[in-house]
Structure 1
Amino acid sequence: MTTTTTSNAGVQVVKPTVASHLHDYWGRVRGGDIGSLPAILGLIVLCLIFGIARPTFFSAVNFANLFSQGAAVIFIAMGLVFVLLLGEIDLSAGFASGVCGAVMAILLTNHGWHWSSAIPTALVTGLVIGFVLGFLVSKIGIPSFVVTLAAFLAFQGILLVLLSGGKNISIRDTFVLSLANRNMSVVVSWTIAIAAVAVYAGLQFAKVRGRAVRGLVTEPMGIVLARIAALAVLLLAAVAVLTTERSINPLISGSVKGVPIVAPIIAVFLILWTFVLGRTTYGRHVYAVGGNKEAARRAGIPVDRIRISVFVIGSFMASIGGIIAASRANSVDPNSGGSNVLLYAVGAAVIGGTSLFGGKGRVLDAVIGGAVIAVIDNGMGLMGYSAGTKFVVTGLILLLAASVDALSRRRAAATGNR
């Protein structure tokens, strides 16, 4: 059921009811448009399982640890979302992050650079890597699997060269170390959280008003208010937990409370890339090329430039992941960015809801999927499971996510919602 009103400009505005909005959403879900719903439900179930099995899982200390554990993977996964949206793959993102982290560490420790110069140099390194990969894929025509597999192997060698055959370089810069290991003050934590809710509410109301003025269909106010309330509850509850004292003995070891610094950094990039994909011409072009490259080319979209750009963004975000990983470890070594980093990053994007077939996905998927992987790794660690068991469980969940993606696409094609 919908209602129709007339705006001040004399334009009839269609206003769906909450019931009709929910009915339409359920229809999209049944038609195969499930988005991140499975990942969110899975995240809730996993948290309940681990929380019941190990009550310490819900402690403030462990909650804060989840941010530092999952941050590097989430940043890399954010960049991979752009690559996956085009149906491409970047197998080198893990070791690319290691190379960028090593560049920063070498400049800081061996050459005495200030962080304000070392970090931008590492970021530029990521941009250059992305441009080279994108150029080889789009202009030379080499499949992304081959290009990035070659880069995956080459970057391992570059790391060994940069680290003189296998040295471990410690990082002592306090600013860099604070990125993944320090917390904001209680006052700043609450101020940012309240401001974030207020800004989000203002944007939601402005969106509804703007669509109403133009005579477009608007969401029911009940849905808008529910969305704002949900964000407020989640955000303020998280801050309430994180601003409690987490130190066992504050008088001896010092007070530990506040939101981890890495959390707002994740939020900033989530907002930035969500805006880019959802509100800009570039974002529409990315989805268009991912949906049908030839149709996009005939529509006048610069396909090659779009393909290069997603690899640039992917490697840029990998460089941020490498910086955060180096900060958390307080050092870099020849295995930085290796091991399970790439697999977890790809898994985070896919588990969160980004399609391996291209054309469907959001940056939020990387954050949700990264949270799922961090919870699995953290929860199973608390329960005493081996690394092998963690890999098996994570692999099965990734396989399940890919299966859900394939089945939802088949369902969407059958119902005409493709």
Structure 2
Amino acid sequence: MTGTANENAGVATMLDRSDIRVKHETGISGAVRAFIDRIRSGDLGSLPVIVGLVLIWTVFASLNPVFLSSNNLVNLLFDCSTVGVIALGIVCVLMVGEIDLSVGSISGFASAIVGTLWVNQGVPVALAILAAVTFGGMIGFIYALLFNRLGMPSFVSTLSGLLAVLGMQLYILGSTGSINLPYGSALVNFGQMMVMPRLVAHVFAALPGIILLVTSIRTISRRREANLSAPSLRSIIVRAAAITIALELIVLYLNQDRGVPWMFGLFVGLAMIMNYALTRTQWGRSMTAVGGNREAARRAGINVRRVYTSAFVLCSMLAALGGVLAAARLASASQQAGTGDVNLNAIAAAVIGGTSLFGGRGNAYSALLGIIVIQSIANGLTLLDLSSSLRYMITGAVLAVAVIVDSLARRSRVSHGRA
């Protein structure tokens, strides 16, 4: 009887502490305390990359004030968009614990398809782009078949695909090696000059805060109906207001020059759609479950093969779309398209932004943050007239630090869970 009484007293104490914790979490101070607890448990989120980005921008701005000029930042956003879209696809395959090493070749192949069909064959540009993205999806479907049916590791299949797709790119370009896209066309203008009207840019800048507020209110309502703890509405309003003010100030600054590129707007729009799909849909929860523990996800009734197929297909389609945007940016499709550091930058952007190499953790915004970091390094070194060798070394060091932080955070989460 004494033991039972002690157990009941212990349960009562735990419930009292739980009530206190719930009360604390209903205010702004509770939100701050919860944020600190998440950091201590290893859930760093986007904090490391944001701190790194601030440091990078501070260093380059002190060495060359032109770096933070509105004109240079507009060019930076144009350059981020092409590889950034490819990095979104990398997030998908990393979420399920796999990799795609052929995204660079697929992007170059897609640009060659657009150039060949549109310029050489006279096919309407919209159909040419559709064909390129479709071919990309077919390549991803082949990877999924090799993985699901034959058990071929994605590292091997996509490495083979890198060589095969590169060969197809060289074949369809022929002896000329490059195809110039028509200057003045809508596609080239989209990739080089088109920016949002100022009012439209300010409206789009307000959308993230509005979406955050609406979705958070719905979440709070559902959690309260289920008698679960929920963050306070005041803290959500503060977060939404802070995000909106920051984005509006950025747009205001960019509008001092040309404005916000439509191509970057497309990239951000795709990131928002993918983030919603990963966090608010059954498909996204299945992606996280498969990446966390494939066997447990299978036993829970998730169609694991279908999840892997969707990840590979979506990755290849986004790689193809990134190749089309790169062709628009350069106004050409050439044998060099998709080669060089495109592969590594796309993978590095996803990892640097916070997507785990171990699977089961990440979000679409990691590609956005990661590619801004990489392009900031490249842009800053170019303004300082330094060699590209430094860019590779610094990017490699940043990638190594990102993986180390991810590994340490993962170890912290495991130990915290055991505790």
Check whether TM > 0.5: yes
| Contact 1:2/1:17 (8 A) holds in 2 | no
Q: Does residue 383 of the first structure (1) align with residue 395 of the second (2)?
A: no
1:204 alignment partner, one of 216, 223, 226: 216
Which segment is superposed worse, 170-179 or 388-397? Answer: 170-179
Which AA in structure 2 matches 1:321?
A: G
Aligned to 1:252: none
- Structure 1 residues 13 and 282, CA gap change in structure 2 (3 angstroms): farther
Specify the SS of the correspondent of 1:416: helix
Q: CA deviation at 1:196?
A: 5.0
Aligned to 2:187: 176
Which AA in structure 1 matches 2:348?
A: G
Distance 1:109 1:166 in 2: 13
Aligned to 1:164: 174
Distance 1:243 1:397 in 2: 31
Aligned-residue CA RMSD in angstroms? Answer: 2.0
Distance 1:293 1:413 in 2: 18
Q: Does residue 192 of the first structure (1) align with residue 204 of the second (2)?
A: yes
Aligned to 1:108: 118
Aligned to 1:398: 399
| Contact 2:25/2:231 (8 A) holds in 1 | yes
Which AA in structure 1 matches 2:150?
A: I
Specify the SS of the correspondent of 1:187: helix
Q: CA deviation at 1:14?
A: 9.2
Aligned to 1:337: 338
Q: CA deviation at 1:179?
A: 2.5
Distance 1:274 1:341 in 2: 23
Q: Does residue 238 of the first structure (1) align with residue 239 of the second (2)?
A: no
- Structure 1 residues 151 and 333, CA gap change in structure 2 (3 angstroms): same
Distance 1:367 1:417 in 2: 33
Encode CA deviations 1:247-272: one digit per residue, 9 max, x unaligned.
xxxxxxxxxx2310112201211111
1:143 alignment partner, one of 150, 153, 156: 153
Unaligned runs of 5+ in 1: 5-11, 247-256
Which AA in structure 1 matches 2:317?
A: F
Which segment is superposed worse, 118-127 or 167-176? Answer: 167-176
| Contact 1:83/1:90 (8 A) holds in 2 | yes
Q: What's the TM-score, normalizing by structure 2?
A: 0.91
Q: CA deviation at 1:166?
A: 5.0
Distance 1:411 1:379 in 2: 34
Task: Count matched residues.
Answer: 400
Aligned to 2:59: 49
Which has the larger share of helix? 2
Distance 1:290 1:275 in 2: 18
Structure label with greater radius of gyration: 2
Distance 1:166 1:28 in 2: 56
| Contact 1:139/1:304 (8 A) holds in 2 | no
- Structure 1 residues 44 and 270, CA gap change in structure 2 (3 angstroms): same
Aligned to 1:254: none
- Structure 1 residues 106 and 48, CA gap change in structure 2 (3 angstroms): same
Give percent identity, aligned residues only: 35
Q: CA deviation at 1:289?
A: 0.7
- Structure 1 residues 400 and 90, CA gap change in structure 2 (3 angstroms): same
Unaligned runs of 5+ in 2: 1-16
Q: What's the TM-score, normalizing by structure 1?
A: 0.91
Q: CA deviation at 1:197?
A: 4.1
Q: Does residue 325 of the first structure (1) align with residue 332 of the second (2)?
A: no
Which AA in structure 2 matches 1:224?
A: I
Aligned to 2:10: none
Aligned to 1:250: none
| Contact 1:15/1:220 (8 A) holds in 2 | yes
Distance 2:402 2:204 in 1: 34
Task: Report runs of 4+ in structure 1 exceeding 4 Å deviation.
Answer: 1-4, 12-15
Aligned to 1:131: 141
| Contact 2:291/2:359 (8 A) holds in 1 | yes
Distance 1:300 1:201 in 2: 33
